[in-house]
Structure formats: C-alpha cells, structure tokens
Structure 1
Amino acid sequence: MRGNRHGRLARPLYSPAGFDTELRGAVEELRTGRWMAMRTLLTRTGGAWGLRTSRTQVLGVVAAGSHVVQAWLREEPRDADARLMQARVTVERAVRAHRDGHHSAAELENEARQACYAAAERLPADPVPWICLLALARLDHRQERAEHRERAAEPMLPPGPWGLLYRVYERDRYNREAHHRMLHFLHARAAGPIASHASAIDFVRWVSSWAPAGSELLALPLYAYIEQFRRQLARNPDDLLLRQQWAHDPVALDTRTALHAWFEQTDPAGQSVMDLNHLAHALWAGDRPADAARVFTALGPYFTQQPWSQVGADPENPDSAKEEFSRARAQSFDAIS
C-alpha cells in the first residue's frame, strides 16, 4: 500500500515495527513467548547501530510485560544481545513504574541502571546501553544524580546528562533515539521546579543547526513544537490562535527543513513512521496539503498515537489519534484532487 496513489483509502494501522518487516516478525514471535526470532534478528542487525537502536527499543517495549528475555538470558547468560535486551526491558519497567507511582519504582530503577552497565561492559562499542541510561535520566526530575547535571558544551543549554549523550556521540554521532531521550529529559525538567520549556526548544534548534542533510534529527524540532502546543493548549484551551503557529516561522521553517533536507533525501524504507507522522501533521496543520499528501502517501496506512492524539478534539479518547490522522489525510488528498 505504501506509495500507492490509493493510499488515501488505506485503513489506518498501528504497528510498532512500522516498515520493518523483519522486526514485525520478531515482535509477533515475542508476543507468543518465543525469543529465537529476536535473537536471530539482532544477530543479523550486528553493528548497524541506528537499526539496532530502533529494533531493540521496540522489542524492549513489547517484552517488558513478559519473562521472555529472562528465559533467553538463562539459556545464554553470556550473550551480549540478551544482556542488552535485559537492559531494555528493565528500563521500560522502571519508566512505567515511575509513571504509575508504583512502590517498586526506585528498586526497578536501580536494577535497570545495573543492567545498563552490564550490557555496556559486554559490548563496549554499542551505544544502546548509554541510550538506556539517558532514558533513566528522565526519572530524576530534580537532577539529584551528578551525571544528570553536567554542564553542556553549548552555553545556552542547561545542565543535564550531557556526559551520557557524549558516550553515544562516541559510538553513533547522529543517533535518533539518544537525542529524543535528551529531549524527553528536558521536557520532564520543564515539568518540574527547575526550568521552562524554552530549554527544549533551544536544544532542538541547536541539534538541527549541525545535523547533516539526510539526518532524521532534522525532524526533532517538530516533537518539541508538538509538546509546546500541548502545554499551551492545556493552559488556554479557547485560544484559537494557537493552531496558527504551524503556518508561521520558526515552526514553518523547521518543517520545510525536515521535508527538504530529510524526507526528500533519504531512503523511504528506512524512515521512521513516527517522524513521518509528525511531518505529515506539521505540513497539514501549516496549510501545505500537497506536501502533506506526499508524506501521507509514503506512510501508507501507518499512523502513530503522537502527534495526532495531542492535537485531536478529545485526547482522552483512545480512537482520537486514528480519527485525526484520517481526517488530516483525507483533507490533504481532497485538496489536490
């Protein structure tokens, strides 16, 4: 269905694997309690760090509700991929426990931290354990850990887990998830007593200032703008001018950059459906239906909860994202018919 001119008729589909058919197969096996497909997939992925990062992220989310990874680790305790997946799973569980206010949150966080360092020791070249530690940094709202309040190289940015991000830089300079984790940290920081949302905007603009053409980091600002919009809307739900931001700079400028310097210059098969959904939304909301239609065509049926649930009429409705995606897609195609 992807790239088909009849894509406007495709029934919206949510899939954590996106376009990655090999990953989709491993996820299906994982959900039935089997780990061999996951093992084989990660062996084939090897040192393709960007692909390893995205695949282990999805697998970790799916595996967190089961004991499949623990079973693998019992069978092959020295396997580096098994160790890494143990880190992914424990980090995901710790994040969920903190979000839900569970009494075991602190214990799970410590367990996850130990699993991350164990994975890093097993395969020193792998950036993913350090990305996992960046995910845990978000839980430290008051930046009590010294590693979460290091000074940034860029003077305009606040203290944070920059040393952890630098560990990723040493291994995979333009890693997508690492920079999203840093953005999550800054969003969490802005929700607490320390700083405003401005630091998150400063961060994404700094990243986009040096990210090369073709880098998916050029779509990073769109995530910060969605979060900014969500917070502004929560404070002023009747402000009709808020939705106009998508048609004006700097939001419109960053949207054009993502379109021309990332979307148009990369292999569609390797694009993130999450990034594509954010770009499609920004183009549609910015009154650029022809460009939005191109991105919707590339997406085919795949939608993601974000950003559509955040801009829909009823964010609490579980079907809101699908409905908003369908509406934006139909309007974009109708405008060019």
Structure 2
Amino acid sequence: MEELLDRTGQDWDRRAHRIGVLAETAGRAAPKAWRKQRPRDHNALTLHAWSDLAHAHEDGSFDDAKATVDSCLLAATLAPSDPTPWVVLLAVFRLQRRPARELASVWREIKARDPWNREAHLQALRYLSPFECGSRVKVLEFLDGLRSAPSYGTPVTGVELAAHVDRYHHTQSQGGIEALSIQQYWARVDVQHVLDQASEYWHQPGVLTHAAALADLNLLAYALVRARRFDDATRILNALNGTATAWPWGWDQDALEMFTSWHNRLIR
C-alpha cells in the first residue's frame, strides 16, 4: 500500500482514487496496523481515516469520530499540499450532518489544492441534496457553478449525471405519487441533454482520463439503460469491456448480476 500511494506523487486525482479503493477493500486491520507502525505517515493516516469512514457508512456511526477527524487534520499538517485528508474530512462532516459553514471551510481548503477533485464534488453534491442537508435549489446552484467553469474533461465531468441518478434513486425509494412516474424522469429535456453529450463524447479516447473514468462510464451505461436508450448503452458497455462498478448498478439488487444481465442482453 505504501509503495502504491507513494507512486502517485502529486497526482491528487489518482491518489484519492487509490486510497478510496483501498479503504473500501482492505478491511479494518491493515489500515489500522499501518497507521500504528507509521503514526506520522500522512498516507497511513489518510487511509486509516478513510477506512473509518467506510466502516461508519456500513455501521451507521463512527467508533470514534474525533479520532478520525484528528487523523485527517494531522495528515493535512504533515502534507500541506495534499487535498486528500481534507476530502476525507469533508466526507466525515457530511456523514455527521455538520453545519454547512463547517463544510464550507473544508471545501475551500480542497478547492485551493485541487479545484476539480471528483470525490469532494460528489460529497458536496450529496450533502446539498434535499435528501440530506440541502434542497433541489442548492443542487441546481451547485451544478450551475460547474457548468459556468471549464470543467468538461476534468474528473468532475460525471457529477451532473451523478446528481440525476441520485435523484432518480431517492425518489424511487421514497415511494408516493412522484415515484409512480419516476421512469418519465429520463425523458426530461435537461436529462436528455446530459445523456446526449455524455453518450457522444465520453467513450472517445482522451476525453475521460481521470482515475475513476470507468466508474463514470458505468454511471452513463446505467443511466442509458434506465432511459431505454439501448443503442447508446450498447456502445458504452462495449467501451467498458466487462468492467462493472458497485454503484450505481447495486442500488436495488446485486450489482454484478444487474450489469451482467444488461451486458448479455445488449452485447452480442
């Protein structure tokens, strides 16, 4: 793990991606042991904090939230140019539903170091959603800010589509009258515009070059399937070459089963 993270240098996008994957897959013991062995190594501290975060999502709460926050702050002190400890801290504050002013101060630290940090934008998007601490108006303002900046082709290219998938999922899960007609969501003009642009350009070489590009292509394939745009979905599934991600395929059933079902149906 140490060598893997050291090799990223100041490629903050790839560093965050690798630490995130390790935190989700390495279990509790390895990050804890590395942090104990290297108590002032910023990579060990950041991984341990992200691992705490991953398990807090599973368990519903932190074992020791203050210790996790302290790990982030120490890692940030030891590696002042690295945005990743601040990204983890933002996610911790989001899970705790901390006041917006506290997240805003962390957000500024991240933006000063890595303006297009994908994980940070996804965390902020979900905090601002009406399903957490914000509203649909706040989400629209956030996305308008992305559209007004030259962000296309950066690691945040898929954030607007992620917002649509999140809204679809949450509306569906809440039930009620709006959920009964949720399939029509994909026919909205603004959603179709996002799908048009993404399906035309994202799979082309050199457009998506960030570390989580395959995750964003999975997001697009899923959205195209839901929108019943099967020709476009087939093109994106071909580009994925069988690589599946847990989100969003695993929202309401086994992710690999759902991905494989659509892959076998559309790829002949």
Shorter-chain TM-score range: 0.7 to 0.9
Separation (CA, whole Å) in 1 of partners of 2:17 and 2:226? 28
Tell which deviates more after alignment, 196-205 or 210-219: 196-205
Tell me, yes or no, if the aligned pair for 2:221 and 2:237 is still in contact at 8 Å: yes
Q: Percent identity?
A: 29
1:251-290 equivalence runs, <5 A: 251-260=191-200, 262-264=202-204, 265-266=206-207, 270-290=211-231
User: 1:170 and 1:140, CA in 2 relative to 1: closer, same or farther beyond 3 A?
Assistant: same
- The TM-score with structure 1 as length reference comes to 0.70
Tell me, yes or no, if the aligned pair for 1:90 and 1:115 is still in contact at 8 Å: no
Residue aligning to 2:149: 210
Residue aligning to 1:225: 164
Measure how far apart 1:133 and its partner are: 0.8
Separation (CA, whole Å) in 2 of partners of 1:266 and 1:256? 15
User: 1:77 and 1:294, CA in 2 relative to 1: closer, same or farther beyond 3 A?
Assistant: same
CA deviation vs aligned residue, 1:166-208 (integer Å, no higher than 9, x gap) = 2111111111111011122224xx335x643442344234323
1:149 maps to which of 76, 100, 119? 100
Tell which deviates more after alignment, 244-253 or 112-121: 244-253
Tell me, yes or no, if the aligned pair for 2:153 and 2:208 is still in contact at 8 Å: no
Bigger Cα Rg: 1
Separation (CA, whole Å) in 2 of partners of 1:218 and 1:130? 21
| Structure 1: gaps (5+ residues) | 1-37, 151-159
Measure how far apart 1:237 and its partner are: 7.5
User: 1:185 and 1:239, CA in 2 relative to 1: closer, same or farther beyond 3 A?
Assistant: closer
- The TM-score with structure 2 as length reference comes to 0.86
Residue aligning to 1:196: 135
2:35 maps to which of 65, 73, 86? 73
1:249 maps to which of 166, 189, 201? 189
Measure how far apart 1:68 and its partner are: 1.8
Residue aligning to 1:26: none
Tell me, yes or no, if the aligned pair for 1:211 and 1:217 is still in contact at 8 Å: no
Residue aligning to 2:260: 326
Tell which deviates more after alignment, 40-49 or 208-217: 208-217
User: 1:267 and 1:232, CA in 2 relative to 1: closer, same or farther beyond 3 A?
Assistant: closer
Residue aligning to 1:116: 72
| Structure 2: gaps (5+ residues) | none
Secondary structure at the counterpart of residue 218 of structure 1: coil
User: 1:201 and 1:305, CA in 2 relative to 1: closer, same or farther beyond 3 A?
Assistant: farther
User: 1:211 and 1:261, CA in 2 relative to 1: closer, same or farther beyond 3 A?
Assistant: farther
Separation (CA, whole Å) in 1 of partners of 2:29 and 2:106? 28
Measure how far apart 1:302 and its partner are: 1.8
Separation (CA, whole Å) in 1 of partners of 2:84 and 2:184? 38
CA RMSD in angstroms, aligned pairs only? 2.7
Tell me, yes or no, if the aligned pair for 1:208 and 1:220 is still in contact at 8 Å: no
Separation (CA, whole Å) in 2 of partners of 1:239 and 1:83? 42
